[in-house]
Chain A
Amino acid sequence: MDFAKFFQYIASGTAYTVGVTLIALPFGLVLGLILSLMHVYGGKFLSRIMAVYSTIMRGIPPIVLLFILYFMVSGNINLSPFWAGSISLGIVSSAYQMEIIRGALLSVSGSQMMAARSIGMSRMQAIRHIIIPQALRLAIPPWSNEAAIVIKDSSLVYALGVPEVLRRAQLISASTQEPFLAYITAGLIYFALVFITNRLLNRLEKRLAIPANP
Chain B
Amino acid sequence: MAEPILDIKGLTKAYGNNVVFHDIDITVNEGDTVVIIGPSGTGKSTLLRCINLLTKANAGQIWLDGDEITAHGHNEDEVRQHVGMVFQNFLLFNHLTALDNVKIGLSKVKKLPNEVAEEKAMQELSRVGLVDRAAHYPGQLSGGQQQRVAIARALAMDPRIMLFDEPTSALDPELIGEVLEVMRNLAREGMTMLVVTHEMGFAREVANRIIFLENGNIVEEGSPDEMFNRPKYERTRSFLWKISELYGDMESEA
Contacts and interface: CB of A to CB of B under 8 A. Distances in A.
A125 B93 contact: no
B59 interface: no
Interface in A143-179: none
B130 interface: no
B112 to A, nearest CB: 13
Interface residues of B, number: 29
B91 A120 contact: no
8 contacts: A115-B92, A120-B78, A121-B105, A125-B108, A210-B139, A211-B139, A212-B139, A213-B140
Nearest to A213: B140
A122 B54 contact: no
Interface string A172-214: 0000000000000000000000000000000000000011110
A120 B107 CA distance: 12
A119 B157 contact: yes
Contact of A211 (B84, B93, B140): B140
Contacts of B83: 118
A117 B54 contact: yes
Given A210-B137, A213-B140, A121 B85 contact: no
B11 interface: no
Interface stretch (A38-46, A49-57, A129-137): A129-137
Given A112-B93, A134-B94, A134-B95, A120 B139 contact: no
Q: Which of A115, A125, A134 has the most CB of B within 10 A?
A: A115
A120 B109 contact: yes
B34 interface: no
Given A117-B54, A130-B93, A134-B94, A122 B77 contact: yes
A92 B119 CA distance: 48
B64 interface: no
Contacts of B154: 118-119
Contacts of A111: 87, 89, 91
Describe B's contact surface by its main secondary structure: mixed
A140 to B, nearest CB: 13
A129 B77 contact: no
Nearest to B137: A211
A121 B91 CA distance: 15
A114 interface: yes
A100 to B, nearest CB: 18
Contacts of B157: 119-120
Contacts of B137: 210-212
B5 interface: no
A122 to B, nearest CB: 5
B80 A112 contact: no
B95 A133 contact: yes
Nearest to A132: B95
A130 B94 CA distance: 9
Nearest to A121: B109
A136 to B, nearest CB: 10
A96 to B, nearest CB: 25
A116 interface: yes
Interface in B60-94: 77-78, 80-81, 83-85, 87, 89, 91-94
A119 B140 contact: no
Nearest to A134: B95
Contacts of B153: 119
Given A117-B80, A118-B80, 14 more contacts: A114-B54, A118-B54, A119-B85, A119-B104, A119-B109, A119-B156, A121-B105, A121-B109, A129-B104, A133-B95, A134-B94, A211-B140, A212-B138, A213-B140
Given A133-B95, A134-B94, A137-B95, A121 B108 contact: yes
Interface string A51-74: 000000000000000000000000
B93 A116 contact: yes
B192 interface: no
B105 A120 contact: yes
B77 to A, nearest CB: 5
Closest 10 CB pairs of A and B: A212-B139, A120-B81, A115-B91, A119-B105, A118-B85, A120-B80, A120-B109, A211-B137, A134-B95, A133-B95
Q: Which of A112, A118, A125 has the most CB of B within 10 A?
A: A118
